[in-house]
Amino acid sequence: ASAGGGGIGMRAVYQEDELVRAIESTQSVASTNFGDSTVFIEKYLEQPRHIEFQLLADEHGNAIHVADRECSIQRRHQKLLEEAPSPIMTEELREEMGGSAVKAAEYIGYTSAGTVEFLYDNGEYYFLEMNTRIQVEHPITELVTNTDLIKEQIRIAAGEELSYSQNDIQVTGHAIECRINAEDPLNDFAPNPGKITGYRSPGGPGVRLDSGVYMNYTIPTFYDSMISKLITYGRSRTDAINRMKRALSEYIILGVKTTIPFHKAILRNPNFISGDLNTHFIDEHKKGIDKEMENVIVEDAEIVNKLKSTFMPSKKIAAISAAVGSYQNVARSQKMQKK
């Protein structure tokens, strides 16, 4: 679907006699979801990697790429785990693919932060699409390039020049992001909204958590199922993986099913550990991933049961919060009187 996104309106055709039917079906989906029935046809790649390049471009003619991200772990063409840099990336390939991304932005006169996405297969890369916004996975790029993409986006919007040149962008270390969604990964990632009845977030060196949920927060049915973005950084890919394993083991969310068991299973998968990835990874390794998720759930059950008793009832939490607030108000009042 030309006006589409999020993997909606995509269909592979393996036989010529299926083409007309596939076009009509895709047009119907496109019209229903996007109000535009326009579709386009392109070469289908059987086992591609999804590699994207972060861009920054200002209105003064400056455009750079801020390195690459590997986004091949997907379900229904939507990303679940990203890492930076790609395990297969070399300086030569980064220069070539990044240069193509910058040329695309310059050609259309693009300004702001953005991302050019590619499919990579057998040494060749193909343009997929451009996201004209900041993306969910931007934190991993910030960590490995020591940049502040949000600040830079605001500066560009204010009419200022880029703070960085292409030579300033150096990749150091490795970062991984797990999208923690309120979904049931053993039931085809079906949404699982509801109230969070227990919550404990991870932390420590090399761990970043971007989230807005809390104890007793209700995951609504009306929006995206994402709960948070869990990011880890290390000097190497192995360090980042090990830190993510530790952070996931500390992350407790009760009341709704989440993708935490899925991510734990992925990080144990030997193909993932070796960097052997493609966009059909989940389907190709489904049996092994599902079995590992079941093992994870059993392993976690005892820990979760012990932790349930540590989560205080909401009324008790409210009473403690009110008492603390009252104490703070009294303290401020006494301080003002002394002044």
Residue 22 neighbours by CB distance under 10 Å: 16
Residue type, 202: P
The backbone torsions φ and ψ at residue 20, rounded to the nearest 5 degrees and listed phi first, read -60, -45
Judge whether 36 and 99 are in contact, CB under 8 Å.
Answer: no
Instruction: Tell me the two tokens of residue 74.
Output: 């997907």
Report the Cα–Cα distance between both ends of the chain, in Å, rounded: 66
Nearest to residue 262, comparing CAs of 225, 208, 213, 221?
225
Neighbours of 90 (CB within 10 A): 10
Residues 296 and 335: their CA atoms lie apart, in Å, by 52
Residues with catalytic function: 133
Question: Taking a C-beta distance cutoff of 8 angstroms, is the pair 85, 69 a contact?
Answer: yes
> Using alpha carbons only, what angle is made at residue 10 by residues 8 and 13, rounded to the nearest 5 degrees?
160
